[in-house]
Structure 1
Amino acid sequence: MDPYVAQKSTPPSAPSAYGQPPVTGIPLSPPYNYVHNSQPPPPLPHAHAGAPGEWSTGLCDCFSDVSNCCITFWCPCITFGQIAEIIDRGSTSCGASGALYTLIAFVTGCPCIYSCFYRSKMRRQYMLPENPCADCLVHCFCESCALCQEYRELKNRGFDMYLGWHGNVEGQNPAMTMAPAVQGGMSR
């Protein structure tokens, strides 16, 4: 039997026996993902990089990334700003979050009242446990270690912390960074 004849006799809702899309009269664009045993496309690098329910590093593993440990110790507002921009998905900039962190540190002397909320938000996003104790206590007693752990967690999930949210998004979709150019514009 001719494969084209068999394909025409196939109902429009079912794929053909040859893995091709059904004949519907509507043009379909590739890829024709009609194979019954096909796998879904792989997730984005940071979508499921860490296992839910566990941190990728411990709270006191600060020296596994010495450069970030030094930056966090001397200027925690930089690390906090980078973390906040990623967690807020670009709705606040690194500079604005870092400046607010610094302002709260100067006014209250306790920036942990602001940074602990971001740890809680990050834990909810990635389904992480409240380890080793409550978020506010971790930030109150180990602010630098908590910020380093959050930084490492995002980095281990595939984020380039120096690029920020928008840089990471553009890096994943390089073809989507520019709109196509239109020549000539509209005319009558």
Structure 2
Amino acid sequence: MYDYEQAPSSDPPKSAATTGFPVSYNSAYSSTADTSYTPAPPPQPKPIVKWSTGLCDCFSDCSNCCITCLCPCVTFGRVAEIVDKGSTSCGASGALYTLICCVIGCGCLYSCFYRSKMRRQYGLKGSGCTDCLLHCCCEYCVLCQEYRELQNRGFDMIIGWHGNVEQRSRGVAMIAPPSVQQGMTR
């Protein structure tokens, strides 16, 4: 019923090992066009930059320092909302941080992942190991540093991600509408 014989050809036959079906190669259907493909070069990595403030510059912003010492979940929640680009709210992140602190007594296990995520987003110096060590040893100073970094990058930390997006889009979209004359005039 089916003839699986290959026609004689000067080209070697292609292997049928991948599908299990016999395949014949017919040079009449081969393309003579240039089929060379050069893939696009990979994007250049972001340059690694230093943090805008030091780890122990906590007292340059006393209000944030006091809030972080009394209630670190607020500072963490604000940082997490900006780093997550609004996909989680400040309240939800802060509540989860508090729950982890209450259950296992070590919120730094959660917050160190956000430092790593922030470093990747903005090309900041550091590594995953140092992120964990810093959060375990100096949780409050590290949270303050992350907060200051986002502030120095132009975020208003109190209004959150959506407030920042709205504020920035409002500044761009403030174009005067066309004037419309009232009533019929000749």
Q: What's the TM-score, normalizing by structure 1?
A: 0.64
- In the alignment, which residue of structure 2 is the partner of 1:14? none
Letter in 2 for 1:155: Q
Q: Which of 110, 115, 125 lines up with 2:121 in the alignment? A: 125
- In the alignment, which residue of structure 2 is the partner of 1:46? none
- In the alignment, which residue of structure 2 is the partner of 1:84? 80
Offset, 1:53: 1.2
Residue aligned with 2:51, SS: coil
Distance 2:165 2:66 in 1: 27
Quick check: 1:172 aligned with 2:164? no
Q: Which of 61, 68, 74 lines up with 2:64 in the alignment? A: 68
Letter in 2 for 1:138: L
- In the alignment, which residue of structure 2 is the partner of 1:4? none
- In the alignment, which residue of structure 1 is the partner of 2:28? none
Offset, 1:114: 0.1
Structure 2 regions of 5+ residues with no counterpart?
A: 1-46, 175-186
Number of equivalences: 127
Distance 2:125 2:84 in 1: 20
State which structure, 1 or 2, has the greater radius of gyration over its C-alpha atoms: 2
Quick check: 1:151 aligned with 2:147? yes
* Identical pairs, percent: 71
Offset, 1:52: 4.6
Distance 1:176 1:134 in 2: 42
Distance 1:118 1:104 in 2: 15
C-alpha RMSD over aligned residues: 1.9
Distance 1:78 1:176 in 2: 32
Change (3 A) 1:176 1:102: farther
Distance 2:173 2:132 in 1: 40
8 Å CA contact retained: 1:170, 1:176: no
Residue deviations 1:79-99, cap 9 Å, x none? 000000000000000000000
- In the alignment, which residue of structure 1 is the partner of 2:131? 135
